[in-house]
Structure 1
Amino acid sequence: MDWYLAVLKNYAGFSGRARRKEYWMFTLISVGISVVLSIIGGLIGADFLSFIYSVAILVPTLAVGVRRLHDTGRSGWWLLIALIPLVGAIILIVFLASEGKPEANQHGVNPKLAPQAI
């Protein structure tokens, strides 16, 4: 949960780098919350709950995705590759799941070596 809250605290932070763990824990918790909200919304007849949550976390989701790509040495613009049907999403998942560069790059120092500010 700390990883999820850390991303929310850095709401619109598009600069820097994000570890794989930070990105994937945020994604896991976000999907879990969205599923729970969908179930609750379906039970009470308020199907818009999950949509409102998705809109609320759109900016932090984009920001952590950009920071994750920065960790792999890529520009945040690579997120747009997901717009290519089927192949783009697969390529993006490979980029997001790959190991970050161990050395410092133009986006900052390796987040594994930097002290956590949680």
Structure 2
Amino acid sequence: MQRFSLGWLTDYRGRVTCGPVFAYGALYGGVYSLFVWVYERSGLPGMPIAAIILNILVAIPLSALLVRRLHDQGRSGWWLLLTLPAYSLGLEKEWYRLNGDFEALLSPQPIWVNVIMVIGVLAFFGATFLPDDPETNRYGPNPRFGVPEPAT
């Protein structure tokens, strides 16, 4: 019998199919939406700080999954760094939204900010949606086909 393990949360080695990435994204989206919904109805102070901390904590397992997804495509996990500037700008926008500073949120941005956001989004979707390497690559066997059993 296998034990349940949370080691995958910080495991940057190996390969993973896109299914776990989608499942984690859906789980995070639901939890974060519930978190914001409860906060907006509670009137408690400190939500922007809590939301930023939650987003950063959630980014660690997501980055592990995306690095392993890049490995599944035969790419280095360092490609994920292309999403970091866009992620940072997204946190800034979330800060403005949660503080109710809609003037800053909706103010015109320099074109370079939009270019960074587009590059980050394209890198994220590339890591998620591009097809996998069907063969065994330097990161391991294709997880869609299972790991071959060792000969006894």
Indicate the TM-score class for this superposition, using the shorter chain for normalisation.
0.7 to 0.9
Percent identity over the alignment is 27
1:57 counterpart residue number = 58
1:100 counterpart residue number = 132
Instruction: Pick closer, same or farther for the CA change 1:85–1:56 going to 2, 3 Å.
Output: closer
Paired AA for residue 138 in structure 2: Q
The 3-state SS of whatever aligns with 2:10 is coil
Q: Is the 8 A contact 1:68 1:96 kept in 2?
A: yes
The 3-state SS of whatever aligns with 2:145 is coil
1:113 counterpart residue number = 145
Q: CA separation in 1, counterparts of 2:59 and 2:81?
A: 15
**Aligned-residue offset at 1:98:** 1.4
**Aligned-residue offset at 1:24:** 1.2
2:32 counterpart residue number = 34
Q: CA separation in 2, counterparts of 1:85 and 1:58?
A: 17
2:11 counterpart residue number = 13
Q: Cα RMSD between the aligned structures?
A: 2.1
Cα displacement string for residues 4-36 of structure 1 (whole angstroms, at most 9, x for unaligned residues)? x97x54121000111111111111111111111
Cα displacement string for residues 19-57 of structure 1 (whole angstroms, at most 9, x for unaligned residues)? 111111111111111111011111112425433432322
Q: CA separation in 2, counterparts of 1:57 and 1:92?
A: 15
Number of paired residues? 110
Cα displacement string for residues 54-107 of structure 1 (whole angstroms, at most 9, x for unaligned residues)? 232221111111011111111111111223331332243133111211111111
Matches within 5 A, 1:59-74: 59-74=60-75
Q: Taking structure 2 as the reference length, what is the TM-score of the superposition?
A: 0.64
Q: CA separation in 2, counterparts of 1:76 and 1:52?
A: 24
Q: CA separation in 2, counterparts of 1:62 and 1:87?
A: 17
Q: Taking structure 1 as the reference length, what is the TM-score of the superposition?
A: 0.80
Instruction: Pick closer, same or farther for the CA change 1:30–1:110 going to 2, 3 Å.
Output: same
After TM superposition, the structure 1 stretch with the greater mean CA deviation from structure 2, 29-38 or 84-93, is: 84-93
- Please tell me whether Structure 1 or Structure 2 has the larger radius of gyration of its CA atoms: 2
Runs of 4+ deviating beyond 6 Å: none
The structure whose residues are more often helix, as a share, is 2
Paired AA for residue 82 in structure 2: I
